[in-house]
Structure 1
Amino acid sequence: MSVFEIVFWLSMLLPFFFFPTYLTLASQVAITALFAISVDLILGYAGIVTLGHAMFFGLGAYVAGLLSARLGWGEPISGLFIAGAFAGLVGFVASYLIVRVQHMALLMVTLGLGFLTYELANAMTWLTGGTDGLSGVNTWPIFNHFRFDLWGYTAYSYSLVVLLLGFLISRRIVNSSFGLALRGIRENVRRMPAIGSEHRWHLQKVYTISAAMAGVAGALLTQSTNTVALEVLSFQRSADVVVMLILGGTGRLYGAILGSIIFLLVRDQAAGLNPQYWYFWIGLLLMIVVLFLPKGILGGLSRLVRRNG
């Protein structure tokens, strides 16, 4: 890691010392950032446009919740692996459809899958609780020692560690030959078979990895809040994470984290000023970024550094 990266990750510890009353919000930021990274893997690096990735986030959240509420298993670490594996399995099955369509058809397919999953969870009230949400979730202490407290110290520590691991895994992927192939597919999918690249298989692999990571993020939300609401599968969550990537910059893993921080902080402050019209400020911010920083805030900063360098 560079000096700037070390400073960035150390700055993520500031809420513990200077903003302890915002630790719950900080844990939400870390969880959302992990979800945003999962979407950036397919959108920013592979060029798979999606508006239904909350399907995998929600599946992970429900699997973690059902393990505890229905099966009595609330161990958090194994819960993350099980939720991620299940979401990844569903993502692998869905990838056979995803890789066969492009552009607007791809957008509609991902959107349709998201809506189908949402309505399925809404209809299966006997299992999911429907609009009332899943109750009875009880997450055990991490390593039987660190109990999830009301102030959010454990939740933020736990979420931050998982975010860092997810980031390191993602960076290893995008900096590998596999990641280079993904960028080639994003730039020109028709030329990749000419150099012997199995572009569909590459897309299936990254889509599966992305789904698994989104499932882990959803499980984190369940474990840190002990609740599962139907909203985890909503279109709004899928759309919000795309907005975060546009704000921070796609194809830059740090852009996913930065976009999540900015989006959730603006939402928190704007909702405090006016709970009804806070999306006005998000829309205004999005318009400014798109008009003046088309590659996102991080892209604009990178361009400024290169110009001054």
Structure 2
Amino acid sequence: MARLTGPVLMIALAVAAYVLFPFNLAFLTRIVIMILLVLSLDLVLGLAGIATLGQAAMYGAGAYAAGLFAIHVWADPLAGLAVGALAGAALAGLSGLVLMRTQGLTLIMLTIAVAQICAEIANRARDLTGGADGLRGIRMQPVLGRWDFDFIGQTAYWYACAVLAVVFALLVLISRSPFGLSLRGIHESPERMEAIGAPIYRRRVLAYAIGGAIAGVAGALTAQITQLVSLETFAFALSAEALIMLILGGTGRLYGAVIGTVIFMTVHHTAAANDPFNWLFVIGAMVLAVVFFLPSGLIALPTALGRLFRGGRHAGS
């Protein structure tokens, strides 16, 4: 039962958001998709300790793969998700064979390079991808043959929420499995894990590939819902924003990815609407406050407040 708590909570929050903001479904859907991308980064960075700024590479690969699959092969949404996941996993797995042999700044720079190479390939293959104009003409069939993608965005929203619940449940199982626990051990002390005979390199590559598959699913959702794929799916800014969201919420706990994404995108949306020129100041101030006062992320706020309350009560007595 405890393993079902996360997905059930995701659905409950989705229902509440739908009831409270019925005219902002497009924005809510973008939040859900971004949560998927940040969750993939949490698996790679928060759980396995793999430093990366190129998660957009797998996101873009999944988006282009799902879009091309829908145009030329089959427009079924679930089949497109599977294709996007395979594309993201394949790119992460193949590049991970090289990347996981490095670490630190070298690893970070190489992950950025992979995303930039993918962007250039997509730009050059104009006959296939549309180049700088983007991949257009994506028309999806109804979800499960019953629910059409409507103009209001209700089907897209619930479709994205259902995918998020499934992925979140999968990540909960992975984090609690022996494989997930070994990834935590590799993150905390690779020397000790190597001393007990753990195959560090293989598990890091596998974790990177799984994270790539989830990022590919997020990209596929974007392609199916927006019916457009642009070169921006490979943008460095996307990977950087995902990292900021994860840091805000807290790494390695899954729920931190959800909290950080919701807060970042809500503040971003509100601040940009109120002041289109200085909204970055608000984002920067928020990130600095969290880094200085809550190094573990916003997910640790209840614990910090509890300690503060107990400390004040003891001082008063």
Task: Report the AA paired with residue 263 of structure 1.
Answer: F
1:96 matched to 2:100? The reply is no
Aligned 1:268-307 pairs, distance under 5 A: 268-305=269-306
Q: Is the 8 A contact 2:11 2:161 kept in 1?
A: no
Shift of 1:49: 0.7
Q: Distance in 1 between matches of 2:106 and 2:244?
A: 20
Structure 1: 5+ residue stretches without partners = none
Give, in angstroms, the shift of residue 271 of structure 1: 1.5
- Aligned ranges for residues 212-223 of structure 1 at < 5 Å? 212-223=213-224
CA distance in 2, matches of 1:96, 1:72: 30
1:14 aligns with 2:7: no
| 1:37/1:230 CA distance change after superposition, 3 Å | same
Measured in 1, the distance between the counterparts of 2:10 and 2:227 equals: 29
What residue in structure 1 maps to residue 258 of structure 2?
257
- Using a 3 Å threshold, how does the CA distance of structure 1 residues 226 and 235 change in structure 2: closer, same or farther? same
Q: Normalising to structure 2: TM-score of the pair?
A: 0.93
- Name 1:23's counterpart in structure 2: 25
User: Taking every aligned residue pair, what percent have the same amino acid on both sides?
Assistant: 39
8 Å CA contact 1:245–1:259 kept in 2: the answer is yes
Verify: 1:128 aligned to 2:129, yes or no: yes
Cα distance in 1 for residues equivalent to 2:224 and 2:9:
28
Moved more, 78-87 or 294-303: 294-303
Residue matched to 1:63: 65
Distance in structure 1 (CA, Å) of the matches to 2:35 and 2:307: 26
Q: Which residue number corresponds to residue 51 of structure 1?
A: 53
Report if the CA contact (8 A) 1:74-1:139 is conserved.
yes
CA-CA distance at 1:306 after TM superposition: 6.9
Task: List per-residue Cα deviations over 1:178-216 (Å, max 9, x = no partner).
Answer: 111101111111221210100111101111100011000
Q: Is contact 1:249-1:255 (8 Å) kept?
A: yes
Give structure 1 regions of 4+ aligned residues with deviation exceeding 3 angstroms. 1-9, 302-309
1:144 aligns with 2:145: yes
1:307 Cα deviation after fit: 7.1
**Partner Cα distance (1:180, 1:308) in 2:** 33
CA distance in 1, matches of 2:77, 2:171: 22
Aligned twin of 2:43: 41
Aligned length: 308
Which residue pairs with 2:315 in the alignment?
none
Q: Distance in 1 between matches of 2:274 and 2:299?
A: 27
| 1:202 paired residue number | 203
Partner of 1:156: 157
SS for the counterpart of 1:21 is coil
Gapped regions of structure 2 (runs ≥ 5): 311-317
TM-score, normalised with respect to structure 1? 0.95
Which has the larger Rg? 2
How much has 1:177 moved relative to structure 2?
Answer: 0.8
